[in-house]
Structure 1
Amino acid sequence: METNIYKPPESNVAQAEPMSPEFYVVSRNKFLILFISTLGIYRLYWFYKNWSLYRKSSGKKILPILRAFFSIFFAHSLFKLFDGKSKEIDNTYKWSPGNMATLYVLFAILENVSDRLSRKSIGEPFTDFILLITLPVIGWTLYKAQISANIACDDPAGAGNSRLTPANYAWIVLGAVFWVIVGLGLYTVTVGPPEWN
């Protein structure tokens, strides 16, 4: 065995894997586009993705899919996680995670009740309009939470996820079709079905 005493020592240094973000990062514009174009259905993915990334980074045994479907029970804890982590990074963003989560829960319940009444033609067209009124409030609460999540992941602008992907465009197209159906439905309920002569 030949040894060169002047040769630097060799060792295998493991490359550090890039840390995945603790929460779902998305730019403000992309969030709004996806939320509005899908009539708020995007929030299922949004909650799922946040809980999934949190589970991965924290090692906690949680079921992200259940927390997404039953978001009214988990919004407070998620918003609190966003707030706690974002304050470690930047303490300048002022919001009230408890109030935003409560507002989200109240309007999500109102949306659900209105949807069920509307399906049974109870209270039309008011229940249909209530459904549309809940959408911006729910979107606003999640938008405020997203800003905090972005700060918590040290990407305040959400630049790491600002481009629309082909899958995003597919959802936007499906959402546009859904918006047309909703618009025609509201028109029919308020004005009446069109007469074709």
Structure 2
Amino acid sequence: MEEIVGQDKAVPESAEAIIAGESAAEGAVPQHHVPLFHVSLKKLVIMFTLTFGAYQFYWFYKQWQALKQHYALEVWPIARSIFSIFFIHSLYDYVNGYIRETEREYSWKSEGLALTYVLVAIASGILNQLIKADDSSNFLIIVSLFLPLAMLYPLYQGQKAINFALEAVEHPINDRLTWLNWGWIILGALYWIMILGVIAVLLGVLW
């Protein structure tokens, strides 16, 4: 089972320092892989919104998969995707570490953004539990449906930093929607229709 390091406070001085704290393979050195996952900001917004946030699991998985390959880390990308609230701080530390490794600077509030993501996720979970206990509040139900979308902001800012970091290395350009993306978008659109129908019922628009 992986050691939970997502809430480490110290920001590593280099990518090597981060590796040391992430159980890298003994004697491992950076490999010839793109260190992070690139996606255009426009595509990120489209995929996150139209899949109602489900895209974030793929996003986290791809980031950790890239880091694992680049630094030969002994981590489980799937686990870090599912339990993203424990590892988003660590992920953003890696982004900062790689930017410093390329001898550049990028100004962004990585700790605050990671904390925002965690707090929104926790608030969403608490709200869902309150609704299970008492589903008479239409307002809380509507808020619970849209609150997870607020997690897009810290991921958007994170991707901006990642795309900046990747300017120092050749990487695949990921800005077009693939047929698989369209498949998820169609499923997401159906879910959106269902959500809007639920809201309409709650507001008494249909009945």
- Same-fold call, TM > 0.5? yes
Secondary structure of the residue aligned to 2:38 is: coil
Distance of aligned partners of 1:89 and 1:159 in 2 relative to their CA distance in 1, 3 Å threshold: same
Q: Aligned equivalents of 1:147 and 1:155: distance in 2? A: 14
Number of aligned residue pairs: 176
Does the 8 A contact of 2:135 with 2:141 survive in 1? no
Of 109, 117, 142, which residue of structure 2 is paired with 1:104?
A: 117
Match of 1:61? 74
Please report the RMSD computed on the Cα atoms of aligned residues, expressed in angstroms.
Answer: 2.4
Q: Which runs of 5+ in 2 are unaligned?
A: 1-30
Matches within 5 A, 1:49-128: 49-89=62-102, 91=104, 93-119=106-132, 121-122=134-135, 124-128=137-141
CA shift for structure 1 position 89: 3.9
Secondary structure of the residue aligned to 2:193 is: helix
Does the 8 A contact of 1:124 with 1:189 survive in 2? no
Q: Which runs of 5+ in 1 are unaligned?
A: 1-17
Match of 2:15? none
Does the 8 A contact of 1:26 with 1:162 survive in 2? yes
Does the 8 A contact of 1:89 with 1:151 survive in 2? no
Distance of aligned partners of 1:89 and 1:130 in 2 relative to their CA distance in 1, 3 Å threshold: farther
Secondary structure of the residue aligned to 1:142 is: helix
CA shift for structure 1 position 121: 5.0
Distance of aligned partners of 1:124 and 1:86 in 2 relative to their CA distance in 1, 3 Å threshold: farther
1:167 aligns with 2:180: yes
Distance of aligned partners of 1:78 and 1:117 in 2 relative to their CA distance in 1, 3 Å threshold: same
Q: Which amino acid aligns with 1:106?
A: L
Q: Which range is displaced more, 40-49 or 116-125?
A: 116-125
Q: Which amino acid aligns with 2:188?
A: G
Please tell me whether Structure 1 or Structure 2 has the larger radius of gyration of its CA atoms. 1
TM-score, L = length of structure 1: 0.80
